[in-house]
Structures are given as C-alpha cells and as structure tokens.
Amino acid sequence: MSPNCRFLVPTAVVFVRRRVGERMISACVVPKHGGGSVMVWGCFAGDTDGTIISIDLCSGPNLKVISTLSVGFDHMAMDEIKKRGVRVGYTPDVLTDATAELTVALLLATARRLPEGVVEVKNGGWSTWKPLWLCGYGLSGSTVGVIGLGRIGIAIARRLKPFGVKRLLYSGRTAKSYAAEVEGEYVPLDTLVSESDFVVVSCALTPETQGLCNKDFFSKMKNTAVFINTSRGAVVNQEDLYQALSSGQIACAGLDVTTPEPLPTDHPLLTLDNCVVLPHIGSATYSTRGIMAELSANNLLAGLQGTDMPSELKF
Ligand SMILES: O=C(O)C(=O)CO
C-alpha cells in the first residue's frame, strides 16, 4: 500500500485488488474533492492530506475501476479516464435530498443572519430589543433564481416554494418539463441574476460554468440579494464575490463549497459578517453517507466483476 494512504471512507469497501483471469486489476474508492481521505492501492496516489493529485500522473496501467463517493466527478481527470477506458461508479440521487435540505438551511441561515445572532448571544451583544437589529431577508413573496434545475436544483426549488416564494426562475442549458411542478420560469441567466432576491447555484462545474459568478454577474444582482452556492467552488470567482460583499453590491452569501477546500482560515471571505461558509457538508447526514458508502462499494464490486454497476457514469 502506498505510504500516502490515509484511511478510509467507506470501511465497507475491501476489494481493491482482484485477479481477473490472468490479470490483477486494481480499483479504488475516491472521496470527492477535499473529502479528506483516499483509499490508495499502489496504482493511485494522494497527497499528504489525502487529496488526489491527479489520476493521470499517479495511477498505474492496471487501474480499471474508480468508485467515487460523490455525485460530482469534477475532481477526476475525465479525459484520461476516458482514454484509458476506466469505468467510473458514482452516487447520484441518493444525496439529492440531503444536499437540497442543506441548501435551504444555508439559505435561511445566511438570509436571517443566524451565525451572527449566535455569536451575539454568546459575546454579550444581545442587549435591549432594537427594531432593526440583525434584520435579514425573508422568502415570503420573493423571487428565487436557481441556476441549474437538475436533480438537486429541482429538489431545492420544491422545498423553497412552500415558504411563499412568488416567482421561481431557473436557467441552464435547457428548459425542463418537470419545472411546471414548481411553476418554474425558464429565463436567460441575466434575467435571473437581475430579478432574483435569492440566487441559488446548483449547476455542475463545467468549462461553461467555471467562473460564471464573476464581477459582471454580481454587478447585475440586486443590492438586497442573497447568493447561495452549494454546487462547486470554482463556479464562483471568489475575489469578485469578496468585492461584491464588502462593497455592499450584494447583501450576503452562503457557501458550502469553496476554492480551495478547505478554505484557508485567513481567507478574506472569512473576515466578512455577511458571508457564511460551511465545510462542504451538503450530503453529510448519517443515513445519506451510509447509503453512499454502500452504493460506492457495490459500484466497485460490480466494476471488478465486470458486471453492470448500480450507478455507472456514462460518458
Ligand atoms: O457528492 C457531491 O459531489 C457533493 O458535492 C454533494 O455535496
């Protein structure tokens, strides 16, 4: 085993090497970006804190199967994976509800300034009642814009609608028939950005979405708007977000994802009261992580056996 190995999510996965006919093939379980630990078996290396450096540089020719404990696969060198014909298992669907719940929690915590309130209670800042103290923004009667109405996006929209959201806008590559369920209006991105009181980013990280939320984007948002990102950190230009937050261009932001992860403790975003940063815990419920672990183990085993995986990435 590689000296770089740090153990181990999930413990259920034990078959990492297997003889198939004359050949020994290798497989590994990878956590998502910044996930903290990597199972390494000779063919695959991680750096000292367990983050994968690069599959193309580190994996050996025997690597046939990868099982990632995530729905996202932007942490893997897909071009190289395709070139080598490596099969990839992932964990869609099973984390949708947990991630949507976390998004709603983060949105409410950010808009209603819960972290600031908790600090004030502890540090004695809570004195007499003051009409405008710790006021924030409510969902009732608001316009919510979801960027990327995929599996998780629609689950977020479904949960937000009952808060009294008046208009639900969404943008993305195509209009979705299932958007009717939340009375979703498919609009150009610019319309969504300028008309929404809450902008929720729930799209995949692709070359098109990388850096999408930049200076130009934030300049179109309302000064009272709340920005939430639970997709991938690289969708956001963090320097531009910092400027938008510190100058009052937008009201506040809640991020469950950053670049890098973990975000260094001296990062400028962490100096702002109007920015709530979570440590990428979208899918972190006990039951969801258990189901993800089981699914990724089954993906891995199926990959090693050469049978259909329960959830195989098609590319
Ligand atoms: O599984 C993933 O890719 C996630 O980031 C869920 O939070």
Ligand 1 pocket test, candidate residues 9, 69, 71, most atoms within 8 A of CB: 71
Q: Whose CA is nearest to atom 7 of ligand 1?
A: 282
Gap from CA of 126 to ligand 1 centroid (Å): 37
- Span 242-251, pLDDT tens digits: 999 999 999 9
- Residue 146 and residue 153 in contact, taking contact as beta carbons nearer than 8 Å: yes
- Span 223-246, pLDDT tens digits: 999 999 999 999 999 999 999 999
The ranges assigned to domains in the chain are: 14-93+286-313, 95-277
- Residue 1 and residue 7 in contact, taking contact as beta carbons nearer than 8 Å: no
Residue 75 annotated as catalytic: no
**How far apart (Å, rounded) are the C-alpha atoms in residues 292 and 94?**
7
Please report how the helices 96-111 and 114-123 are oriented relative to each other, as an axis angle in degrees rounded to 10: 60
Ligand 1 binding pocket includes 258 (Cβ within 6 Å): no
**How far apart (Å, rounded) are the C-alpha atoms in residues 292 and 120?**
37
pLDDT confidence band for 38 (50 / 70 / 90): very low
What number of other Cβ atoms are within 10 A of residue 223's Cβ? 10
Q: Whose CA is nearest to atom 1 of ligand 1?
A: 70
Would you say the CATH fold of 95-277 matches that of 14-93+286-313?
Answer: yes
Ligand 1 binding pocket includes 68 (Cβ within 6 Å): no
Phi-psi region of 237 (alpha: psi -120 to 50; beta: other; left: phi over 0): beta
Question: What atom of ligand 1 comes closest to residue 99's alpha carbon?
Answer: 7
Question: What are the Cα distances from residue 291, in Å, to 48, 238, 282, 284, 298?
Answer: 27, 33, 14, 11, 11
For 266-271, the CB contacts below 8 A with 24+ separation are 267/238, 268/242, 269/238, 269/241, 269/242, 269/245
pLDDT confidence band for 51 (50 / 70 / 90): very low
Ligand 1 binding pocket includes 34 (Cβ within 6 Å): no
Query: Is the bond preceding 8 in cis, omega lying within 30 degrees of 0?
Result: yes
Q: Whose CA is nearest to atom 3 of ligand 1?
A: 72
Gyration radius of the chain over CA positions: 21
CATH superfamily of 95-277: NAD(P)-binding Rossmann-like Domain (3.40.50.720)
- CA angle centred on 9, ends 37 and 12, rounded to 5°: 155
Gap from CA of 232 to ligand 1 centroid (Å): 8
pLDDT confidence band for 315 (50 / 70 / 90): confident
**How far apart (Å, rounded) are the C-alpha atoms in residues 31 and 194?**
36
Strand partners, 38: 6
pLDDT of residue 53: 35
CATH superfamily of 14-93+286-313: NAD(P)-binding Rossmann-like Domain (3.40.50.720)
Ligand 1 binding pocket includes 99 (Cβ within 6 Å): yes
Gap from CA of 20 to ligand 1 centroid (Å): 32
Ligand 1 pocket test, candidate residues 104, 281, 283, most atoms within 8 A of CB: 283
Gap from CA of 194 to ligand 1 centroid (Å): 28
Higher-confidence residue of 36 and 92: namely: 92
Gap from CA of 285 to ligand 1 centroid (Å): 12
Question: What are the Cα distances from residue 307, in Å, to 41, 61, 167, 299?
Answer: 22, 21, 46, 9
How many alpha carbons fall within 13 Å on the CB side of residue 40? 26
- Span 132-171, pLDDT tens digits: 999 999 999 999 999 999 999 999 999 999 999 999 999 9
- Residue 44 and residue 28 in contact, taking contact as beta carbons nearer than 8 Å: yes
- Span 21-35, pLDDT tens digits: 665 555 666 654 433
Amino acid making up residue 18: R
- Span 187-199, pLDDT tens digits: 999 999 999 999 9
- Residue 158 and residue 182 in contact, taking contact as beta carbons nearer than 8 Å: yes
Residue 260 token pair = 């890098």
| Short-list 53, 36, 88, CA closest to 289 | 36
| Short-list 29, 32, 11, CA closest to 283 | 32
**How far apart (Å, rounded) are the C-alpha atoms in residues 209 and 235?**
6
Q: What is the ipTM of this complex?
A: 0.94
